[in-house]
């Protein structure tokens, strides 16, 4: 409450501190190329360092006269970004691109000039991190467009995202120089996108710093209070940490295991996030002591684990083996939780030195330890596979905003690890189901999925998967994605694939329906679509705002245009001597029962095969089928009779159709069970039962059920009517 009632003075104080920190960081950046070149010479050749010095001179001249908000020369920013990458021991092209990363956006330099002077590789990276020179309607649209551009460049060259992360890291270090509203927007964007991306690429150090800096920028008072509380707790627990660390080192030494034991402290944002999501107090979070054990060889990890479990009692269910099954970002370690001395919980991570390097630097460790590159191919390959997946997300997304939405979903920090029937391991986001698994295997598997087996037992497609399960997908050639899948699929790849398939499915169905409706109208004029000369009808297409026949048919099928209006216009354009005839009425539309997106069924009346049906066109929804007695169509019949279209069921129909029954029953114990049992004996699928009290003696029951046809429904009605407590049974659309 104190934070809410006293914001002005204290926020001003903390904002001043942020501005001071921004200026200090800007001053700390190398003012000349000298200190950067000196650090680069430790791992790059002289010609490579010379090329980087040329890039610096180019950038310095291009940015001449430009200043940062901290009132320091602009060149300090590219130098700081290059310094961050040099600490990762990135290659010469990445360092040169870091020095040049703003010249396309903020100066008159061109990509062709950069390619000519520094090579296509450097020019491609710089272009990838540069924003689009376009005016957008909203900031969200601009962010999405620019992020999509960068993601596509990253798919071609992984170094693009590494330069962008270093750029964002330095901008966050100096964010205090920005006005409050802009600072908060950039900090939120960092937490939503850039910190999760750093985590997805395994770059723990950058992820932690980005989160803590964004936390400072978003929540000034909370971060300061938490920092003070952590400092106080650190002092109180130092003696116990030292005692625990000494005990662990001694136990490992007795077993001849050469290991480095380090106390591990949670960073500020991690503490804050756990307090918020797990609803725990600060004391509960800080009561857990963390240690990291770093050894030389993989087998020593498991030996050290045995020592820990002998030294302190392990907590059941809190052991994770990320060595045998690495995380999606390449992270490897053994995790266990122990009851330490005095009953204090201890979280222990056990890694090799190489695993520790990958955990800190992620995909950047490929450049950091080139001499041991083979040791990191697994993590790098996973990162590159994820980045290539960005291309699929982009291709299936309807627009950049949808792409960014799918990307955020794909950046879940937790994964589940499941097996294919052949024993291959797939990583999926927490909460994933069999649909996510199917699309992770292959898009075609997902699109034709009909059922699944989890650990050899049939299970619903919506069931959430747990690590260690074996999943098998059953497919059929004629199966298609359902819109309902979007309610339980969680992975970005699955959701974007489903949306793309539904768009294609909707278009093909709308074209087929549009063709049937247009032919129906043309039949009364003794012609058909095939008989028209479409070379003379291009002008009509332009009038309707379409380019080709299929586009026009899709518009009709979706209900955006009426078939008889289109038919009249086509006939008059095709034949100058055409005399208008009444083509508003035609034969009924055949309903086959397998329709999904463009032919739907009114929920108000629930038509089933065997019912007399009619339909009407609804914009964007297409053809909606109703019983001809449905009261909801009375208004349409009166005001827009031309929109009512006769329909009939096709000869052979299979499947289940949703409908409803209304029951009036006497209030007796067990009546609901009797109704459900009777329907179950009739092989009806019960979707929902709703009971509403009518008076002291009677209740109304609405049952939503699935049946094969009207004969099946009539059998169910007869069974229900035979129950002594049931007074009457009727359908909603039947008076």
| Residue whose tokens read 């997304």 | 397
User: Residue 386 has which token pair?
Assistant: 């994820």
Phi, psi values for residue 534, rounded to 5°:
-75, -10
* Segments of the chain scoring below 50 in pLDDT: 1-10, 27-31, 135-136, 370-377
Contact call for residues 332 and 204 (beta carbons, < 8 A): no
How confident is the model at residue 292, as a pLDDT?
Answer: 92
Structure confidence at residue 408 (pLDDT): 61
Pick from 450, 401, 407: nearest CA to 429: 407
Within 242-314, strands assigned E span 260-264, 289-295, 313-314
Buried b (16+ CB within 10 A) or exposed e, 652-669: ebeebbbbbbebebeeee
Helix H or strand E encompassing 56: helix 46-62
Residue 99, class by beta-carbon neighbours within 10 Å (0-12 exposed, 13-18 middle, 19+ buried)? buried
Q: How far is CA 340 from CA 287, 308, 351, 618, 651, in A?
A: 12, 10, 20, 67, 74
d(CA 392, CA 155): 10
pLDDT for 286-340, tens place per residue? Answer: 667 889 999 999 999 999 999 999 999 998 878 888 888 887 777 889 999 998 7
Contact in structure between 406 and 148 (CB atoms under 8 Å): no
Catalytic residues: 105-106
Which residue, among 659, 672, 673, 670, has the nearest Cα to 732 in the 3D structure? 659
The pLDDT of residue 396: 63
Q: How far apart are CA 48 and CA 106, in angstroms?
A: 26
pLDDT in tens, 642-671: 778 888 888 777 778 889 999 999 988 888
The CA distance from 713 to 730, in Å, is 11
How far is Cα 533 from Cα 556, in angstroms, rounded to an integer?
Answer: 19
| pLDDT in the model for residue 307 | 93
Query: 100 vs 70, 125, 185, CA distance in Å?
Result: 20, 9, 25
Walk me through the domains of the chain, giving residue ranges and CATH numbers: 2-218 (1.10.3210.10), 229-368 (3.30.460.10), 421-490 (3.10.20.30), 500-649 (no CATH), 657-730 (3.30.70.260)
Tokens of 723: 């129950």
Per-residue pLDDT tens digits for 185-229: 899 889 888 888 888 787 888 999 999 999 988 888 888 888 888
Q: How many residues does the chain have?
A: 735
- Start-to-end CA distance of the chain, whole Å, equals 60
Q: What is the pTM of this model?
A: 0.61
Q: Is 366 left (phi over 0), alpha (psi -120 to 50) or beta?
A: alpha
Distance between CA 85 and CA 363 in Å, rounded?
A: 13
CA distances from 658 to 444, 601, 651 (A): 28, 9, 19
Task: Quote the CA–CA distance of 33 and 55 in Å, as a whole number.
Answer: 10
CA distance 110 to 107: 9
């Amino acid at each position: 409450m104190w934070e809410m009632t006293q914001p002005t003075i204290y926020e001003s104080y903390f904002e001043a501190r942020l501005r001071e920190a921004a200026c200090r960081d800007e001053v700390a950046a190398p003012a000349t190329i000298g200190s950067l070149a000196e650090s680069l010479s430790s791992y790059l050749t002289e010609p490579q360092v010379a090329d980087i010095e040329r890039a610096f001179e180019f950038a310095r001249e291009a940015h001449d006269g430009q200043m940062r908000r901290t009132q320091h020369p602009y060149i300090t920013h590219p130098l700081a970004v290059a310094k961050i990458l040099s600490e990762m021991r990135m290659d010469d092209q990445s360092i040169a691109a870091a020095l040049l990363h703003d010249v396309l956006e903020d100066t008159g330099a061109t990509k062709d000039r950069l390619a000519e002077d520094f090579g296509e590789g450097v020019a491609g990276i710089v272009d990838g991190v540069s924003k689009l020179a376009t005016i957008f309607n909203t900031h969200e649209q601009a962010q999405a467009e620019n992020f999509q551009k960068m993601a596509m460049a990253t798919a071609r060259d992984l170094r693009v995202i590494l330069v962008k992360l270093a750029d964002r890291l330095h901008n966050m270090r100096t964010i205090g120089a920005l006005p409050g509203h802009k600072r908060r927007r950039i900090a939120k964007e960092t937490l939503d996108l850039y910190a999760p991306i750093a985590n997805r690429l395994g770059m723990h150090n950058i992820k932690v710093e980005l989160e803590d800096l964004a936390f400072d920028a978003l929540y000034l008072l909370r971060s300061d209070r938490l920092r003070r509380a952590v400092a106080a707790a650190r002092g109180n627990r130092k003696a116990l940490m030292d005692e625990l660390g000494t005990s662990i080192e001694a136990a490992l030494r007795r077993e001849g295991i050469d290991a480095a034991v380090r106390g591990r402290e949670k960073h500020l944002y991690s503490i804050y996030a756990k307090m918020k999501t797990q609803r725990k107090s600060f004391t509960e979070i800080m009561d857990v002591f963390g240690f990291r054990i770093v050894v030389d060889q993989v087998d020593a990890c498991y030996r050290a684990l045995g020592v820990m479990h002998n030294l302190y009692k392990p907590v059941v269910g809190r052991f994770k083996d990320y060595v045998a099954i690495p995380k999606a970002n390449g992270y490897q370690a053994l995790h266990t939780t122990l009851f330490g001395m005095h009953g204090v919980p201890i979280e222990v991570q056990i890694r090799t030195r190489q695993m520790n390097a990958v955990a800190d630097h992620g995909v950047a460790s490929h450049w950091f330890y080139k001499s041991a590159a083979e040791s990191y191919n697994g993590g790098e390959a996973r990162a590159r596979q994820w980045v290539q997946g960005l291309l699929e997300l982009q291709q299936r997304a309807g627009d950049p905003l949808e792409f960014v939405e799918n990307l955020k979903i794909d950046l879940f920090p937790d994964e589940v690890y499941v097996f294919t029937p052949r024993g291959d391991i797939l990583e999926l986001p927490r909460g994933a189901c069999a649909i996510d698994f199917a699309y992770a295997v292959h898009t075609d598997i997902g699109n034709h999925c009909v059922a699944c087996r989890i650990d050899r037992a049939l299970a619903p497609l919506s069931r959430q998967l747990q690590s260690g399960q074996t999943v098998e997908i059953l497919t059929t050639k004629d199966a298609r994605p359902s819109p309902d899948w979007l309610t339980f699929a969680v992975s970005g790849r699955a959701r974007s694939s489903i949306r793309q398939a539904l768009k294609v499915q909707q278009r093909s169905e709308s074209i087929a329906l549009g063709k049937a409706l247009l032919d129906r109208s043309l039949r009364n004029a003794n012609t058909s679509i095939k008989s028209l000369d479409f070379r003379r009808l291009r002008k009509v297409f332009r009038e309707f705002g379409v380019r080709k026949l299929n586009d026009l048919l899709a518009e009709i099928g979706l209900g955006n245009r009426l078939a008889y209006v289109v038919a009249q216009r086509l006939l008059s354009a095709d034949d100058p001597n055409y005399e208008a005839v009444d083509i508003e009425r035609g034969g009924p539309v055949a309903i086959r029962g397998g329709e999904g997106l463009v032919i739907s069924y009114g929920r108000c009346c629930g038509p089933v095969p065997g019912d007399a049906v009619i339909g009407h066109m609804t914009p964007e929804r297409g053809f909606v089928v109703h019983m001809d007695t449905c009261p909801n169509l009375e208004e349409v019949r009166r005001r827009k009779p031309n929109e009512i279209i006769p329909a009939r069921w096709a000869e052979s129909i299979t499947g289940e159709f949703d409908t409803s029954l209304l029951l009036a029953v006497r209030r007796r114990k067990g009546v609901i069970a009797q109704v459900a049992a009777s329907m179950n004996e009739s092989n009806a699928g019960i979707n929902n039962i709703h009971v509403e009290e009518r008076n002291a003696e009677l209740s109304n029951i609405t049952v939503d059920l699935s049946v094969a046809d009207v004969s099946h429904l009539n059998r169910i009605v007869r069974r229900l009517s035979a129950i002594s407590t049931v007074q009457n049974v009727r359908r909603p659309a039947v008076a």
